[in-house]
A and B are shown apart, each in its own frame.
Chain A
Amino acid sequence: MKYSIKLFFVLFALLSLTLSSQSLVNKKICVDPGHGGHDPADDRYIPATGLWESDANWDKALHLKPILESFGATVILTRQGNSDADDLALSVRAGIANSNNVDFFNSIHSNGWQGTSNSTLMLFRGYDNQPVFPNAKTMSNIMVAQIYTANRTTGTSVRGDWSFYPDWGTSGLGVLRPLTMPGVLSEGSFHDYIPESWRLLNTHYRRSESWAIAKSYLSYFNAGTITTGTLAGILRDSLQDVSYFYISSTNDRKKHVNGVTVTLQPGNKTYITDQKNNGFYYFDSLAPGTYTLYFNAPGYGADSATVTLAANQLRFVDRWLPELPNYNPPVVTSYQPANGDSNIILTKPIIINFDMRMNTTLAQAAFSITPNVAGNFTWENNNRRMIFTPNPKYSPGVTYLVSIATTAKSAWGVALANNYSFSFRTRLKLNLLSAYPDSGAVNVPARTLFTFVFDAPISASSLGSNFQFVDENNSPVGVILNSPGLAQGMIQFETINPLLTNKTYTINIKPGLKDIDQMEFGETKSFPFTTEMENYVSGQVLDPLETIGQWKDPNYSGSTVGTNADLTTFTMSQDRKISGTYSGKIAYVFSNPSGGVVRTFNAAKPSVGSNNTTKVGLWIWGDNSKNNLEYWFYYNTSTNVIVPICNIDWIGWKLKYVPLSQVTGTGEKLFHSVVISQTANGSLNSAIYIDDLQMNIATGLEETTDDFNPTSYGISQNYPNPFNPSTFINYQIPLKGRVSLKVFDLLGKEVETLVDEEKEPGIYRVVFNASKLASGMYFARITSGEFIQTIKMNLLK
């Protein structure tokens, strides 16, 4: 009996030990900190906080390795540091896992998407419900729950990479592809969500995720649970809001508190929240039990919390730190409009910021405006910001004096230290701030975006006869107005049809143009401008830019420097196009005042031949960024040639080309990159569109021939098509001879003869004006010698 009792206790003790202790002995794990180094192109830098994802991933791995090793696991880290040399290829990372024959592979990352999301995502190889390694999905479900518990994310997702990236087919994530064992890629949280980005700067916040991953392994290998617990939390100001975006369902709205001393008893451990705007504190490896946390920070009342912590538990104790009574006299820290401002719109609110919470009733009573204007008061920032909105509006051309008397008092009853007063003058008229094209402009694209910026939202009803766009005959030009722009003070529009080349047009603004205050422009201003002289004849299209093909993101090329990698992109866009459905959009943000280069590389490197007379180029939608455009070529297979093209000083489409005579080097040339080079006065944040990469471009005025000596007959598709009412038709003849080019309707009836005469060999362009014809399909037929060819044209009115 005694022996049985002893045996029972021994077994019980062993069982207890098994249930509560943990062991990863004889388990081999490969931990891969994603990315590496500090290359803005692919290491995910967040300028607003100074966070590099590569740093955070590396730190998490450094925390994770000893934790796993403390449980007996063998841990292989793919990276040895976080220098640029540590930015290992995906094949190397997977190769390390394979060489070491590990049981599991985990690539640690954080995510990014427009700065407005913050969730936890696990990716395994395969489709959502068809994983290549089923155990990888098992682990994903375990790990996503653990990381969600540790990180301050708002949701979770577990996906197969083939389902998550459907555009990649069954390619999926490169780091998971060659693995001989189950593997996952964890996106713990979103590094571009600013509150989370600040948190990810805290090494213990990263450690918390590392513990979550370690717990996942314990669960995955059924290896017990940890016997200690963790207390952590975020300390926030109970009243102040942050100035950046926050997810409304979270507490991220309130400002974190830096430099809070958190003391844990028993144990007398302290943690001081860092200066990195996260308010995060952290105590791990705590024995189960009851603890009291004491919070002390300058400017805040002392606070404490008593909590009970269990083994294997991560417990968050967040606090809103109480505001201390403030018996100092309040002061006005800033106000708008600034003293002496003029030209103020008639609805401009007056904003007054105080350094502490105010008694709103007394502050409003202490406010005065002379001459008197009725209005409404609202308060923000926890009664630190008073906003006065006139109702009805101010009067035009009047100087107003605003005063706050010392009868205004703080929430603690202390009077304002001093009287404050400032004045501003309301506007008398609507003012024009900028114009494109400016008066007298030349070389304006035939298709452009006219942009006139005023200092107040425009009254749509006043546009009518007060804003005119006429041609040389004083006939109105049809436009499509960007109506939403009016509310932003912009009269912005495009013409319905491309303008004619080498013509003068005029935009007239009349005195009666009004803003929403009914303030008038009050003068007559004319903006004559001349369109560019060249008629472009599209050549042989090498790439219609209808698919992304082998165009690469600018961050891919080693030449892109000085940019915000996340905001510098190459995408296909339907916003602008010269033909087809898409064009390529190069959006970029330079991170420094100078030295920036954005290179969009086309790995297809199409050959453009070796004939020096060949013209090569693309349609470029410029945005008047004043940065420089370059085309880059190769000769001798890979010798690079940089060809400066122009300054981007226009808005609209221009066919920017270069003859191969300007591309140095001999032999066959390959076109490979469109490059934007930063200039001293160039825009930091800009975008261009590119379309129809082509060669053998012809240009000229009216019907023309070029220097080319075509070797065959041909007629190209009319451009634009569909069209209304004019379109271009290009044709070429290799031999001197009579040329007939006629247009027929669907019934075969001839509607116009465009050409019927003897022609020299060459390339020609004619204009077909169908202004007097009805919508429908028409045919253009060319005949020269024995050559006959017909094209279809679609007139859409």
Chain B
Amino acid sequence: MKYILIFLFLLTVTALSQEIVVENLSQITDYNAGTLFYPQFTPDNKALILTSEAYAGLWIYDLNFNSLTMINNHLGSGYYPQFSADGLTVFFRTDTYKDNLKYSDLRSYSFVERKEQVLFPADRFVSQPLSVTNNEISYSKDTQVFIYQTQAKESVKRVSTLPLVLIENSNLMLQQNGEKRLFNPLGSGNYLWASISPDNSQVLFHLAGKGTFITDLSGNLLHQLGNAHAPHFSPNGRFVVYMMDKDDGQVVLESKLFVYSLASKTATELTLDNSLICMYPRWSPDGKQIAFNTSDGLIYIIDLKID
């Protein structure tokens, strides 16, 4: 894979709420690599894990060597995979169809052994990995949350000690203090793009037709972000990056990236290249970069300077 870190633009340095500054925009992949989507950084910030538009397959892009390696081509494996803390293992689900019904299993891939392992066999309504902590992978099947213990190599019906959010039939569920409960802080509706803040004290979510919000774990409304799509907390929990995409009911026409500051409660557009349709942004674990894909499947990284 040819190194294609290209500095495309002489960017005007843009101040974001006087707290964060866009320093540079780099194109990471080109069409020779195929179209790739939904980038996520590895825990060491040195690579991106990528997938196809329909979340089929996993690729790892090494940012030091600028090499792209395919890990698998399983359906669904690119849907929010999770890394172990040491970054040596990635956990994901894969989807298969039998009699047109969707079955999913839970798998791991070891970058050391270059080996894939089925952790939980294919079954109906198995979620993607919801969280990974201390060699324990939380996932759900139907309405039950399980933990797969990597050392014991078994799944147990037990809840994680850390708060966890998940979507069940459009409801926002919160698992906390050993108990899972209906959360829905703004009433019923279609909840999606839910996550827990890095300090485990807040819940970020989108409610279709209403907007994106942050509440505390009691459901008290703290922040209203507006029509913020695919939101993602910065690692320090001070910011949320999100996309604002517009369409005509058929195709996406425009998408811009914004950063919301929890301190100032204001959002500022990341001034990038107007010609790009920027989607699905994700912070790097060190908080210094944001990766995103364009509508046509190219991967970019934004370098940030944070006060």
Contact = CB atoms under 8 A, between A and B. Distances in A.
Interface of A: 26-28, 34-35, 41-43, 74, 76-81, 85-86, 88-92, 95-96, 98-104, 125, 132-133, 135, 138-139, 168-171, 173-174, 177-182, 220-222, 550, 552-553, 555-556, 603-605, 637
B54 A133 contact: yes
B54 A178 contact: yes
Given A101-B104, A133-B54, A171-B251, A605 B274 contact: yes
Given A85-B209, A556-B253, A637-B271, A42 B248 contact: yes
B264 interface: no
Interface residues on B, range: 35 or more
A320 to B, nearest CB: 39
A534 B73 CA distance: 65
17 contacts: A41-B248, A85-B210, A91-B229, A91-B243, A92-B192, A92-B229, A98-B192, A100-B170, A101-B125, A103-B101, A169-B296, A174-B247, A178-B53, A181-B102, A555-B248, A603-B254, A604-B274
B169 interface: yes
B143 to A, nearest CB: 11
A747 B192 CA distance: 74
B129 to A, nearest CB: 13
A555 B253 CA distance: 12
A28 B275 CA distance: 38
Contact of B101 (A35, A98, A221): A221
B100 A138 contact: yes
A253 to B, nearest CB: 32
Contacts of B295: 171
Contacts of B134: none
A139 B97 CA distance: 13
Contacts of A86: 209
Contacts of A221: 99-101
A603 B274 contact: yes
Nearest to A84: B209
B67 interface: no
B249 A34 contact: yes
A101 B127 contact: yes
Contacts of A552: 253
Contacts of B104: 101
A86 B190 CA distance: 11
Contacts of A168: 251
B100 to A, nearest CB: 5
Contacts of B53: 177-178
Contacts of A99: 167, 170, 190-193
Interface of B: 35, 37, 53-55, 75-76, 79, 95, 97, 99-102, 104, 124-125, 127, 167, 169-170, 189-193, 206, 208-210, 227, 229-230, 243, 245-254, 271, 274-275, 279, 295-296
A76 B100 contact: no
Given A26-B124, A42-B248, A168-B251, 11 more contacts: A89-B227, A89-B247, A90-B249, A91-B279, A95-B193, A102-B102, A173-B250, A181-B95, A552-B253, A556-B246, A603-B275
A90 B37 CA distance: 16
A637 B100 CA distance: 51
Contacts of A550: 274-275
A180 B99 contact: no
Contacts of B253: 552, 556
Which are the 10 A-B pairs with shortest beta-carbon distances? A99-B192, A99-B167, A95-B192, A174-B252, A96-B190, A180-B55, A42-B249, A90-B247, A103-B102, A85-B209
Nearest to B227: A89
Contacts, number: 136
B294 to A, nearest CB: 11
A553 B248 contact: yes
Contacts of A42: 248-249
A56 to B, nearest CB: 14
A180 B250 contact: no
Given A92-B229, A99-B191, A101-B104, A78 B97 contact: no
A85 B167 CA distance: 22
B130 to A, nearest CB: 12
Contacts of A89: 227, 229, 245-247
B209 A80 contact: yes
Nearest to A95: B192
Nearest to A550: B275
Contacts of A178: 37, 53-55
B295 to A, nearest CB: 7
A174 B252 CA distance: 6
Contact of B54 (A34, A77, A125, A220): A125
A372 B122 CA distance: 92
B115 to A, nearest CB: 25
A103 B54 contact: no
Residue from A92, A125, A132, A138 having most chain B Cβ neighbours under 10 A: A92
A96 B97 contact: no
Pick the most buried of B99, B190, B248: most chain A CB atoms within 10 A of its CB. Answer: B190
Contact of A88 (B169, B209, B251): B209
Contacts of B248: 41-42, 553, 555-556
B3 to A, nearest CB: 26
A637 B268 CA distance: 13
Nearest to B171: A100
B245 A179 contact: no
Contacts of A79: 208-209
B17 to A, nearest CB: 16
